[in-house]
Chain A
Amino acid sequence: MNPPAPTTPCVSVEVRDLRKSFHAQEVLKGINLKIAPGDIFVIMGPSGSGKSVLLKHIIGLLEPDSGDVLIQGDSIASPDIRDKYRMAMVFQSAALLTSLNVAENVGIYLAEHRLRPPGEIARMVTAQLEAVGLKGVEDRMPNELSGGMQKRVAIARALVIDPQLILFDEPTSELDPLMAVVVGGEILKLKSLTQATSIVVTHDRELAFGIADRVAMISGGEILFVGAPGEFQSHPDPRIHNFVDAHLPARRSPSLRTDPNPPKL
Protein backbone atom coordinates (compact mmCIF):
# COMPACT_ATOMS: atom_id res chain seq x y z
CA MET A 1 0.00 0.00 0.00
CA ASN A 2 2.80 2.40 0.86
CA PRO A 3 4.21 4.12 -2.19
CA PRO A 4 7.82 3.23 -2.92
CA ALA A 5 10.57 5.83 -2.88
CA PRO A 6 10.63 7.50 -6.29
CA THR A 7 13.29 6.15 -8.59
CA THR A 8 13.23 9.32 -10.69
CA PRO A 9 12.51 12.78 -9.32
CA CYS A 10 10.04 13.58 -12.10
CA VAL A 11 7.68 11.89 -14.54
CA SER A 12 6.37 12.55 -18.02
CA VAL A 13 2.67 13.16 -18.60
CA GLU A 14 0.78 12.45 -21.79
CA VAL A 15 -2.86 13.28 -22.42
CA ARG A 16 -4.38 11.31 -25.31
CA ASP A 17 -7.57 12.38 -27.04
CA LEU A 18 -9.30 13.17 -23.74
CA ARG A 19 -13.04 13.78 -23.95
CA LYS A 20 -15.48 14.61 -21.18
CA SER A 21 -19.08 15.77 -21.14
CA PHE A 22 -21.28 16.91 -18.28
CA HIS A 23 -25.04 16.77 -18.89
CA ALA A 24 -24.58 16.49 -22.67
CA GLN A 25 -22.27 19.51 -22.73
CA GLU A 26 -18.82 18.59 -24.04
CA VAL A 27 -16.25 20.21 -21.76
CA LEU A 28 -13.11 18.55 -23.15
CA LYS A 29 -13.09 17.91 -26.90
CA GLY A 30 -10.21 15.54 -27.57
CA ILE A 31 -7.30 17.07 -25.67
CA ASN A 32 -3.78 15.94 -26.62
CA LEU A 33 -0.74 17.05 -24.61
CA LYS A 34 2.79 15.86 -23.92
CA ILE A 35 4.59 17.20 -20.88
CA ALA A 36 8.29 16.50 -20.49
CA PRO A 37 9.69 15.32 -17.16
CA GLY A 38 10.74 18.20 -14.90
CA ASP A 39 8.93 20.92 -16.88
CA ILE A 40 6.76 23.61 -15.35
CA PHE A 41 3.85 23.37 -17.77
CA VAL A 42 1.25 26.10 -17.52
CA ILE A 43 -2.27 25.63 -18.86
CA MET A 44 -4.00 28.94 -19.48
CA GLY A 45 -7.40 29.86 -20.69
CA PRO A 46 -10.49 31.88 -19.91
CA SER A 47 -12.88 30.91 -17.10
CA GLY A 48 -15.02 27.89 -17.95
CA SER A 49 -12.68 26.67 -20.68
CA GLY A 50 -12.12 23.27 -19.04
CA LYS A 51 -8.72 23.88 -17.37
CA SER A 52 -9.63 22.56 -13.93
CA VAL A 53 -11.56 19.62 -15.42
CA LEU A 54 -8.44 18.71 -17.42
CA LEU A 55 -6.31 18.94 -14.27
CA LYS A 56 -8.69 16.66 -12.34
CA HIS A 57 -8.42 14.11 -15.16
CA ILE A 58 -4.62 14.27 -15.06
CA ILE A 59 -4.58 13.40 -11.33
CA GLY A 60 -7.35 10.82 -11.72
CA LEU A 61 -10.11 12.55 -9.75
CA LEU A 62 -12.41 12.42 -12.78
CA GLU A 63 -12.88 9.60 -15.26
CA PRO A 64 -12.88 10.56 -18.94
CA ASP A 65 -15.64 9.52 -21.35
CA SER A 66 -12.86 8.47 -23.70
CA GLY A 67 -9.12 8.94 -24.03
CA ASP A 68 -6.44 8.43 -21.42
CA VAL A 69 -3.81 10.12 -19.29
CA LEU A 70 -0.43 8.41 -19.13
CA ILE A 71 1.99 9.02 -16.28
CA GLN A 72 5.46 7.84 -17.37
CA GLY A 73 3.63 5.57 -19.83
CA ASP A 74 1.21 4.08 -17.27
CA SER A 75 -2.50 4.83 -17.46
CA ILE A 76 -3.85 6.98 -14.60
CA ALA A 77 -6.78 4.53 -14.48
CA SER A 78 -4.54 1.60 -13.52
CA PRO A 79 -5.26 0.55 -9.92
CA ASP A 80 -1.68 0.75 -8.62
CA ILE A 81 -0.75 4.06 -10.23
CA ARG A 82 -0.69 5.95 -6.91
CA ASP A 83 1.47 3.25 -5.35
CA LYS A 84 3.89 3.56 -8.23
CA TYR A 85 4.22 7.34 -8.50
CA ARG A 86 4.00 10.10 -5.94
CA MET A 87 1.59 12.77 -7.07
CA ALA A 88 0.28 15.83 -5.28
CA MET A 89 -2.20 18.56 -6.02
CA VAL A 90 -2.56 22.06 -4.60
CA PHE A 91 -6.26 22.89 -4.90
CA GLN A 92 -7.71 26.27 -5.75
CA SER A 93 -9.38 26.31 -2.32
CA ALA A 94 -6.23 24.83 -0.67
CA ALA A 95 -8.54 21.98 0.52
CA LEU A 96 -6.94 21.72 3.94
CA LEU A 97 -8.74 19.37 6.29
CA THR A 98 -10.57 21.77 8.56
CA SER A 99 -10.78 19.32 11.46
CA LEU A 100 -6.98 19.00 11.63
CA ASN A 101 -4.43 21.62 12.65
CA VAL A 102 -1.70 22.82 10.29
CA ALA A 103 0.90 20.27 11.45
CA GLU A 104 -1.55 17.38 11.09
CA ASN A 105 -2.55 18.62 7.63
CA VAL A 106 1.04 18.82 6.44
CA GLY A 107 2.02 15.48 7.96
CA ILE A 108 -1.13 13.55 7.02
CA TYR A 109 0.46 11.69 4.09
CA LEU A 110 3.37 10.41 6.15
CA ALA A 111 1.17 9.58 9.15
CA GLU A 112 -1.58 7.78 7.23
CA HIS A 113 0.89 5.70 5.19
CA ARG A 114 3.03 5.14 8.29
CA LEU A 115 6.16 6.17 6.42
CA ARG A 116 7.90 7.84 9.39
CA PRO A 117 7.66 7.73 13.21
CA PRO A 118 5.69 10.61 14.79
CA GLY A 119 8.78 12.49 16.04
CA GLU A 120 10.36 12.49 12.60
CA ILE A 121 7.07 13.57 10.99
CA ALA A 122 6.93 16.55 13.37
CA ARG A 123 10.49 17.56 12.40
CA MET A 124 9.75 17.19 8.68
CA VAL A 125 6.53 19.20 9.01
CA THR A 126 8.35 22.05 10.75
CA ALA A 127 11.08 22.00 8.07
CA GLN A 128 8.58 22.08 5.19
CA LEU A 129 6.56 24.85 6.79
CA GLU A 130 9.74 26.88 7.19
CA ALA A 131 10.57 26.18 3.54
CA VAL A 132 7.33 27.94 2.52
CA GLY A 133 7.92 30.81 4.92
CA LEU A 134 5.57 29.71 7.69
CA LYS A 135 7.04 29.37 11.14
CA GLY A 136 5.23 28.65 14.38
CA VAL A 137 1.82 27.97 12.84
CA GLU A 138 1.84 24.22 13.48
CA ASP A 139 -0.88 24.31 16.13
CA ARG A 140 -3.18 26.74 14.35
CA MET A 141 -6.36 25.58 12.63
CA PRO A 142 -6.81 26.25 8.88
CA ASN A 143 -9.65 28.73 9.49
CA GLU A 144 -7.26 30.87 11.54
CA LEU A 145 -5.01 31.42 8.51
CA SER A 146 -5.29 33.89 5.63
CA GLY A 147 -5.93 32.63 2.08
CA GLY A 148 -2.26 33.02 1.17
CA MET A 149 -1.09 31.15 4.26
CA GLN A 150 -3.55 28.34 3.53
CA LYS A 151 -2.15 28.05 -0.01
CA ARG A 152 1.38 27.85 1.37
CA VAL A 153 0.32 25.19 3.90
CA ALA A 154 -1.15 23.26 0.95
CA ILE A 155 2.20 23.60 -0.88
CA ALA A 156 4.02 22.37 2.25
CA ARG A 157 1.63 19.38 2.35
CA ALA A 158 2.53 18.65 -1.26
CA LEU A 159 6.27 19.06 -0.54
CA VAL A 160 6.11 16.46 2.24
CA ILE A 161 5.00 13.87 -0.32
CA ASP A 162 8.27 14.45 -2.23
CA PRO A 163 6.18 14.33 -5.41
CA GLN A 164 7.29 13.33 -8.87
CA LEU A 165 4.29 15.20 -10.29
CA ILE A 166 2.62 18.21 -8.70
CA LEU A 167 -0.49 19.98 -9.96
CA PHE A 168 -1.57 23.50 -9.06
CA ASP A 169 -5.15 24.63 -9.65
CA GLU A 170 -5.33 28.43 -9.85
CA PRO A 171 -2.62 28.90 -7.23
CA THR A 172 -2.88 32.71 -7.18
CA SER A 173 -6.65 33.13 -7.30
CA GLU A 174 -8.10 35.11 -4.40
CA LEU A 175 -4.63 36.35 -3.47
CA ASP A 176 -3.38 39.93 -3.43
CA PRO A 177 -0.64 40.71 -6.03
CA LEU A 178 2.13 40.55 -3.43
CA MET A 179 1.03 37.13 -2.18
CA ALA A 180 0.63 35.95 -5.79
CA VAL A 181 4.32 36.76 -6.36
CA VAL A 182 5.23 34.84 -3.18
CA VAL A 183 3.24 31.77 -4.32
CA GLY A 184 4.83 31.99 -7.80
CA GLY A 185 8.22 32.02 -6.09
CA GLU A 186 7.22 28.95 -4.07
CA ILE A 187 6.41 27.04 -7.27
CA LEU A 188 9.83 27.89 -8.71
CA LYS A 189 11.49 26.97 -5.40
CA LEU A 190 9.59 23.69 -5.42
CA LYS A 191 11.06 22.85 -8.81
CA SER A 192 14.60 23.58 -7.63
CA LEU A 193 14.02 21.52 -4.46
CA THR A 194 12.34 18.46 -5.91
CA GLN A 195 12.83 18.60 -9.72
CA ALA A 196 9.22 17.43 -9.92
CA THR A 197 7.13 17.91 -13.04
CA SER A 198 4.69 20.74 -12.34
CA ILE A 199 1.41 21.45 -14.11
CA VAL A 200 -0.11 24.80 -13.27
CA VAL A 201 -3.61 25.83 -14.29
CA THR A 202 -4.09 29.57 -14.18
CA HIS A 203 -5.48 32.58 -15.95
CA ASP A 204 -2.90 34.79 -14.25
CA ARG A 205 -0.69 35.84 -17.19
CA GLU A 206 2.07 37.29 -15.01
CA LEU A 207 2.38 34.07 -13.06
CA ALA A 208 2.30 31.97 -16.23
CA PHE A 209 5.01 33.89 -18.08
CA GLY A 210 7.09 34.17 -14.91
CA ILE A 211 7.34 30.45 -14.15
CA ALA A 212 6.49 28.44 -17.30
CA ASP A 213 8.88 26.30 -19.31
CA ARG A 214 6.01 25.65 -21.71
CA VAL A 215 2.53 27.06 -22.01
CA ALA A 216 -0.71 25.63 -23.39
CA MET A 217 -3.86 27.56 -24.06
CA ILE A 218 -7.23 25.88 -23.80
CA SER A 219 -10.45 27.46 -24.96
CA GLY A 220 -13.88 25.91 -25.36
CA GLY A 221 -12.45 22.50 -24.41
CA GLU A 222 -9.81 22.53 -27.16
CA ILE A 223 -6.08 23.18 -27.12
CA LEU A 224 -5.30 26.28 -29.16
CA PHE A 225 -1.58 26.47 -28.53
CA VAL A 226 1.31 24.57 -26.96
CA GLY A 227 4.80 26.04 -26.90
CA ALA A 228 7.29 28.37 -25.26
CA PRO A 229 5.98 31.43 -23.37
CA GLY A 230 7.71 33.77 -25.84
CA GLU A 231 5.96 32.18 -28.85
CA PHE A 232 2.67 32.33 -26.98
CA GLN A 233 2.93 36.07 -26.37
CA SER A 234 3.67 36.79 -30.03
CA HIS A 235 1.23 34.27 -31.51
CA PRO A 236 -0.89 35.70 -34.37
CA ASP A 237 -4.11 33.77 -33.52
CA PRO A 238 -6.58 36.52 -32.51
CA ARG A 239 -8.07 34.38 -29.69
CA ILE A 240 -4.63 34.00 -28.10
CA HIS A 241 -3.69 37.56 -28.88
CA ASN A 242 -6.88 38.86 -27.24
CA PHE A 243 -6.26 36.71 -24.15
CA VAL A 244 -2.65 37.89 -23.80
CA ASP A 245 -3.43 41.54 -24.39
CA ALA A 246 -6.77 41.70 -22.59
CA HIS A 247 -6.95 44.69 -20.28
CA LEU A 248 -9.56 47.03 -18.88
CA PRO A 249 -10.51 50.02 -21.01
CA ALA A 250 -8.68 53.21 -20.05
CA ARG A 251 -10.40 55.30 -17.42
CA ARG A 252 -12.22 58.31 -18.62
CA SER A 253 -10.44 61.58 -17.84
CA PRO A 254 -11.46 63.36 -14.62
CA SER A 255 -12.89 66.29 -16.61
CA LEU A 256 -15.34 63.92 -18.32
CA ARG A 257 -16.29 62.30 -15.03
CA THR A 258 -17.32 65.68 -13.60
CA ASP A 259 -20.61 66.62 -15.09
CA PRO A 260 -20.69 70.41 -15.56
CA ASN A 261 -24.49 70.38 -15.30
CA PRO A 262 -25.38 67.91 -12.56
CA PRO A 263 -29.02 66.88 -12.46
CA LYS A 264 -31.11 68.76 -9.92
CA LEU A 265 -32.36 66.77 -6.99
Chain B
Amino acid sequence: MFQNIGEIIVLFWRTVQSLPLAWHQRRKFFDQLFEIGNGSLFMVCILSLFIGGVLALQTGPVLAERGLSYVLGGMVGLSMCKELAPVMLAILIAGRSGSAMSAEIGSMRVYEEIDALRTMNIDPVAYLVLPRMLAIAVALPALVLFAIPVGWLGGALVSTINHQIAVSFDAFFQDLRQVVQMGDILNGVFKSFVFALAIGIISCHQGLITRGGPRGIGRSVTKAVVNSIVCILILDYFLTRFLLYVQK
Protein backbone atom coordinates (compact mmCIF):
# COMPACT_ATOMS: atom_id res chain seq x y z
CA MET B 1 0.00 0.00 0.00
CA PHE B 2 2.76 2.46 0.99
CA GLN B 3 4.65 1.58 -2.21
CA ASN B 4 1.52 2.42 -4.24
CA ILE B 5 1.07 5.74 -2.41
CA GLY B 6 4.71 6.59 -3.09
CA GLU B 7 4.36 5.68 -6.77
CA ILE B 8 1.18 7.77 -7.05
CA ILE B 9 2.94 10.81 -5.57
CA VAL B 10 5.88 10.37 -7.97
CA LEU B 11 3.49 9.97 -10.93
CA PHE B 12 1.60 13.11 -9.87
CA TRP B 13 4.86 15.06 -9.64
CA ARG B 14 5.96 13.82 -13.07
CA THR B 15 2.58 14.87 -14.48
CA VAL B 16 3.02 18.35 -13.00
CA GLN B 17 6.52 18.48 -14.52
CA SER B 18 5.11 17.61 -17.94
CA LEU B 19 2.62 20.51 -17.82
CA PRO B 20 4.67 22.59 -20.31
CA LEU B 21 3.81 19.91 -22.91
CA ALA B 22 0.07 20.40 -22.35
CA TRP B 23 -0.47 22.54 -25.44
CA HIS B 24 1.05 19.85 -27.64
CA GLN B 25 -1.36 17.29 -26.17
CA ARG B 26 -4.43 19.50 -26.72
CA ARG B 27 -6.10 17.13 -29.21
CA LYS B 28 -6.01 14.26 -26.74
CA PHE B 29 -7.12 16.66 -23.99
CA PHE B 30 -10.22 17.69 -25.99
CA ASP B 31 -10.99 14.06 -26.87
CA GLN B 32 -10.88 13.14 -23.18
CA LEU B 33 -12.81 16.25 -22.17
CA PHE B 34 -15.58 15.32 -24.60
CA GLU B 35 -15.56 11.72 -23.36
CA ILE B 36 -15.72 12.64 -19.66
CA GLY B 37 -17.82 15.80 -19.87
CA ASN B 38 -20.25 15.35 -22.71
CA GLY B 39 -20.43 11.59 -22.25
CA SER B 40 -21.49 11.96 -18.61
CA LEU B 41 -23.81 14.93 -18.98
CA PHE B 42 -27.10 13.03 -19.31
CA MET B 43 -26.27 10.73 -16.40
CA VAL B 44 -25.22 13.71 -14.26
CA CYS B 45 -28.49 15.43 -15.09
CA ILE B 46 -30.60 12.43 -14.00
CA LEU B 47 -28.47 11.78 -10.90
CA SER B 48 -28.54 15.35 -9.57
CA LEU B 49 -32.25 15.86 -10.37
CA PHE B 50 -33.14 12.81 -8.30
CA ILE B 51 -30.64 13.56 -5.50
CA GLY B 52 -32.23 16.99 -5.07
CA GLY B 53 -35.68 15.43 -5.20
CA VAL B 54 -34.91 12.70 -2.66
CA LEU B 55 -33.28 15.22 -0.32
CA ALA B 56 -36.45 17.35 -0.36
CA LEU B 57 -38.65 14.26 -0.01
CA GLN B 58 -36.76 12.93 3.02
CA THR B 59 -36.41 16.21 4.92
CA GLY B 60 -39.40 18.22 3.70
CA PRO B 61 -42.20 16.43 5.65
CA VAL B 62 -40.14 16.42 8.88
CA LEU B 63 -39.45 20.15 8.56
CA ALA B 64 -43.09 20.82 7.63
CA GLU B 65 -44.32 18.97 10.74
CA ARG B 66 -42.26 21.34 12.87
CA GLY B 67 -43.30 24.40 10.89
CA LEU B 68 -39.84 24.80 9.39
CA SER B 69 -40.64 24.09 5.75
CA TYR B 70 -39.54 27.61 4.80
CA VAL B 71 -35.87 26.57 5.40
CA LEU B 72 -36.09 23.69 2.93
CA GLY B 73 -34.74 25.71 -0.03
CA GLY B 74 -31.63 26.75 1.87
CA MET B 75 -31.05 23.27 3.23
CA VAL B 76 -31.33 21.55 -0.16
CA GLY B 77 -29.30 24.35 -1.76
CA LEU B 78 -26.40 24.09 0.69
CA SER B 79 -26.39 20.28 0.76
CA MET B 80 -26.28 20.09 -3.01
CA CYS B 81 -23.48 22.55 -3.61
CA LYS B 82 -21.26 21.80 -0.60
CA GLU B 83 -21.56 18.04 -0.33
CA LEU B 84 -23.87 15.99 -2.52
CA ALA B 85 -23.04 17.28 -6.00
CA PRO B 86 -19.23 17.08 -5.64
CA VAL B 87 -19.18 13.72 -3.81
CA MET B 88 -21.87 11.91 -5.79
CA LEU B 89 -20.54 13.15 -9.12
CA ALA B 90 -16.98 12.23 -8.16
CA ILE B 91 -18.18 8.69 -7.38
CA LEU B 92 -20.06 8.59 -10.69
CA ILE B 93 -17.02 9.79 -12.65
CA ALA B 94 -14.72 7.36 -10.80
CA GLY B 95 -16.98 4.52 -11.94
CA ARG B 96 -17.46 5.78 -15.46
CA SER B 97 -14.28 7.59 -16.50
CA GLY B 98 -11.73 6.35 -13.94
CA SER B 99 -12.48 2.76 -14.95
CA ALA B 100 -12.14 3.67 -18.64
CA MET B 101 -8.78 5.36 -18.00
CA SER B 102 -7.31 2.42 -16.13
CA ALA B 103 -8.69 -0.08 -18.67
CA GLU B 104 -7.30 1.82 -21.64
CA ILE B 105 -3.86 2.44 -20.14
CA GLY B 106 -3.82 -1.07 -18.65
CA SER B 107 -4.49 -2.68 -22.00
CA MET B 108 -1.79 -0.50 -23.59
CA ARG B 109 0.58 -1.70 -20.89
CA VAL B 110 -0.30 -5.39 -21.34
CA TYR B 111 -0.10 -5.26 -25.15
CA GLU B 112 3.32 -3.50 -25.12
CA GLU B 113 2.00 -0.23 -26.58
CA ILE B 114 3.57 1.71 -23.70
CA ASP B 115 6.89 -0.09 -24.28
CA ALA B 116 6.62 0.93 -27.94
CA LEU B 117 6.16 4.58 -26.87
CA ARG B 118 9.21 4.35 -24.63
CA THR B 119 11.39 2.93 -27.42
CA MET B 120 10.38 5.96 -29.52
CA ASN B 121 11.44 8.29 -26.68
CA ILE B 122 7.82 9.34 -26.10
CA ASP B 123 7.12 9.89 -22.40
CA PRO B 124 4.01 7.86 -21.43
CA VAL B 125 3.26 10.37 -18.65
CA ALA B 126 3.10 13.34 -21.03
CA TYR B 127 1.37 11.32 -23.74
CA LEU B 128 -1.19 9.38 -21.69
CA VAL B 129 -1.50 10.70 -18.15
CA LEU B 130 -1.27 14.48 -18.67
CA PRO B 131 -4.22 14.89 -21.10
CA ARG B 132 -6.42 12.65 -18.95
CA MET B 133 -5.54 14.50 -15.75
CA LEU B 134 -6.19 17.90 -17.32
CA ALA B 135 -9.46 16.73 -18.88
CA ILE B 136 -10.88 15.28 -15.67
CA ALA B 137 -9.70 18.32 -13.67
CA VAL B 138 -11.70 20.57 -15.99
CA ALA B 139 -14.66 18.27 -16.64
CA LEU B 140 -15.61 17.29 -13.08
CA PRO B 141 -15.85 20.85 -11.64
CA ALA B 142 -17.77 21.89 -14.77
CA LEU B 143 -20.17 18.98 -14.30
CA VAL B 144 -20.61 19.94 -10.63
CA LEU B 145 -21.42 23.51 -11.67
CA PHE B 146 -24.07 22.08 -13.97
CA ALA B 147 -25.36 19.54 -11.43
CA ILE B 148 -25.93 22.04 -8.60
CA PRO B 149 -28.82 24.01 -10.22
CA VAL B 150 -30.28 20.76 -11.62
CA GLY B 151 -30.31 19.34 -8.07
CA TRP B 152 -31.96 22.51 -6.79
CA LEU B 153 -34.55 22.15 -9.51
CA GLY B 154 -35.23 18.55 -8.45
CA GLY B 155 -35.66 19.69 -4.82
CA ALA B 156 -37.96 22.55 -5.83
CA LEU B 157 -40.13 20.32 -8.01
CA VAL B 158 -40.64 17.73 -5.25
CA SER B 159 -41.31 20.47 -2.67
CA THR B 160 -44.00 21.96 -4.92
CA ILE B 161 -45.63 18.70 -6.04
CA ASN B 162 -45.60 16.87 -2.68
CA HIS B 163 -48.62 18.01 -0.66
CA GLN B 164 -46.98 17.03 2.66
CA ILE B 165 -44.23 19.58 2.02
CA ALA B 166 -46.23 22.14 0.04
CA VAL B 167 -43.48 24.72 -0.44
CA SER B 168 -43.99 26.78 -3.57
CA PHE B 169 -41.35 27.08 -6.26
CA ASP B 170 -40.85 30.79 -5.47
CA ALA B 171 -40.63 30.25 -1.70
CA PHE B 172 -38.10 27.45 -2.20
CA PHE B 173 -35.77 29.58 -4.32
CA GLN B 174 -36.29 32.69 -2.18
CA ASP B 175 -34.90 30.88 0.85
CA LEU B 176 -32.18 29.28 -1.26
CA ARG B 177 -31.03 32.70 -2.52
CA GLN B 178 -30.86 34.01 1.04
CA VAL B 179 -28.80 31.10 2.35
CA VAL B 180 -26.52 29.97 -0.47
CA GLN B 181 -23.55 32.23 -1.17
CA MET B 182 -21.16 32.17 -4.08
CA GLY B 183 -18.52 30.90 -1.64
CA ASP B 184 -20.62 27.77 -1.01
CA ILE B 185 -20.72 26.97 -4.71
CA LEU B 186 -16.96 27.55 -5.02
CA ASN B 187 -16.54 25.28 -2.00
CA GLY B 188 -18.13 22.42 -3.97
CA VAL B 189 -16.22 23.24 -7.13
CA PHE B 190 -12.92 23.23 -5.22
CA LYS B 191 -13.75 19.87 -3.65
CA SER B 192 -14.60 18.39 -7.04
CA PHE B 193 -11.30 19.67 -8.47
CA VAL B 194 -9.36 17.83 -5.76
CA PHE B 195 -11.50 14.70 -6.26
CA ALA B 196 -10.83 14.88 -10.00
CA LEU B 197 -7.07 14.93 -9.46
CA ALA B 198 -7.37 11.96 -7.10
CA ILE B 199 -9.51 9.92 -9.53
CA GLY B 200 -7.24 10.76 -12.47
CA ILE B 201 -3.95 9.92 -10.80
CA ILE B 202 -5.22 6.75 -9.08
CA SER B 203 -6.78 5.43 -12.31
CA CYS B 204 -3.78 6.26 -14.51
CA HIS B 205 -1.37 4.76 -11.96
CA GLN B 206 -3.42 1.59 -11.74
CA GLY B 207 -3.39 1.35 -15.54
CA LEU B 208 0.38 1.84 -15.71
CA ILE B 209 1.10 -0.95 -13.21
CA THR B 210 -1.23 -3.47 -14.86
CA ARG B 211 0.28 -6.93 -15.31
CA GLY B 212 -0.97 -10.11 -16.91
CA GLY B 213 -3.63 -10.39 -19.57
CA PRO B 214 -7.34 -9.52 -19.61
CA ARG B 215 -7.68 -10.70 -16.01
CA GLY B 216 -5.00 -8.22 -14.96
CA ILE B 217 -6.82 -5.42 -16.77
CA GLY B 218 -10.07 -6.34 -14.99
CA ARG B 219 -8.29 -6.37 -11.64
CA SER B 220 -6.79 -2.94 -12.34
CA VAL B 221 -10.17 -1.47 -13.25
CA THR B 222 -11.75 -2.78 -10.05
CA LYS B 223 -8.86 -1.46 -7.94
CA ALA B 224 -8.96 1.93 -9.67
CA VAL B 225 -12.67 2.40 -8.97
CA VAL B 226 -12.63 1.09 -5.39
CA ASN B 227 -9.47 3.02 -4.43
CA SER B 228 -10.84 6.20 -6.02
CA ILE B 229 -14.13 5.98 -4.11
CA VAL B 230 -12.38 5.30 -0.79
CA CYS B 231 -9.99 8.18 -1.47
CA ILE B 232 -12.91 10.53 -2.36
CA LEU B 233 -14.68 9.80 0.93
CA ILE B 234 -11.52 10.22 3.03
CA LEU B 235 -10.55 13.40 1.18
CA ASP B 236 -14.09 14.73 1.61
CA TYR B 237 -13.78 14.66 5.39
CA PHE B 238 -10.42 16.46 5.44
CA LEU B 239 -11.44 18.97 2.75
CA THR B 240 -14.62 19.77 4.70
CA ARG B 241 -12.56 20.34 7.86
CA PHE B 242 -10.14 22.50 5.91
CA LEU B 243 -12.85 24.57 4.22
CA LEU B 244 -14.73 25.07 7.50
CA TYR B 245 -11.48 26.27 9.05
CA VAL B 246 -10.82 28.64 6.14
CA GLN B 247 -14.37 30.05 6.26
CA LYS B 248 -14.09 30.93 9.96
- Which residue of A60, A83, A99, A161 contacts B120 across the interface (Cβ within 8 Å)? A161
**Chain B residues within 8 Å of A114, by CB:** 24
Verify if B111 is at the interface (C-beta below 8 Å from A): yes
Q: How far, in angstroms, from A99 to B28 measured CA to CA in the complex?
A: 11
Whether the pair A95, B122 counts as a contact (CB closer than 8 A) is no
- Which residue of B24, B104, B113 contacts A95 across the interface (Cβ within 8 Å)? B113
Whether the pair A87, B119 counts as a contact (CB closer than 8 A) is yes
Prevailing SS type, chain B contact patch? helix
Verify if B121 is at the interface (C-beta below 8 Å from A): yes
Verify if A54 is at the interface (C-beta below 8 Å from B): no
Whether the pair A95, B120 counts as a contact (CB closer than 8 A) is no
Whether the pair B115, A91 counts as a contact (CB closer than 8 A) is yes
Whether the pair A61, B108 counts as a contact (CB closer than 8 A) is no
Known: A83-B121, A109-B122, A113-B121. A95 touches B116 (CB 8 A): yes
Verify if B118 is at the interface (C-beta below 8 Å from A): yes
Verify if B146 is at the interface (C-beta below 8 Å from A): no
Least distance between A200 CB and chain B CB atoms (Å): 15
Q: How far, in angstroms, from A59 to B120 measured CA to CA in the complex?
A: 10
Known: A98-B113, A112-B127. A59 touches B121 (CB 8 A): no
Verify if B170 is at the interface (C-beta below 8 Å from A): no
- Which residue of B24, B113, B115, B121 contacts A61 across the interface (Cβ within 8 Å)? B115
Whether the pair A108, B120 counts as a contact (CB closer than 8 A) is yes
Verify if B112 is at the interface (C-beta below 8 Å from A): yes
Q: Per-position contact with A for B23-45: 1 when CB-CB < 8 Å, else 0?
A: 01000000000000000000000
Whether the pair B113, A89 counts as a contact (CB closer than 8 A) is no
B:81-118 near A, CB below 8 Å: 104, 107-108, 111-113, 115-118
Residues of chain B having any CB pair with chain A under 8 Å: 24, 104, 107-108, 111-113, 115-122, 127
Q: 6 nearest interchain CB pairs?
A: A95-B116, A82-B121, A95-B112, A89-B119, A109-B120, A112-B122
Contacts A98-B111, A157-B120 given; 20 further ones with Cβ under 8 A? A3-B121, A59-B119, A60-B118, A61-B118, A61-B119, A82-B121, A83-B121, A88-B119, A89-B115, A91-B115, A91-B116, A93-B112, A95-B115, A97-B108, A97-B116, A98-B107, A112-B24, A112-B120, A112-B127, A113-B121
30 residue pairs of the A-B complex, CB under 8 angstroms, read: A3-B121, A59-B119, A61-B115, A61-B119, A83-B121, A87-B119, A88-B119, A88-B120, A89-B116, A91-B115, A93-B111, A93-B112, A95-B111, A95-B113, A96-B116, A97-B108, A97-B116, A97-B117, A98-B111, A98-B113, A99-B104, A108-B120, A108-B122, A109-B121, A109-B122, A112-B120, A112-B122, A112-B127, A113-B121, A161-B120
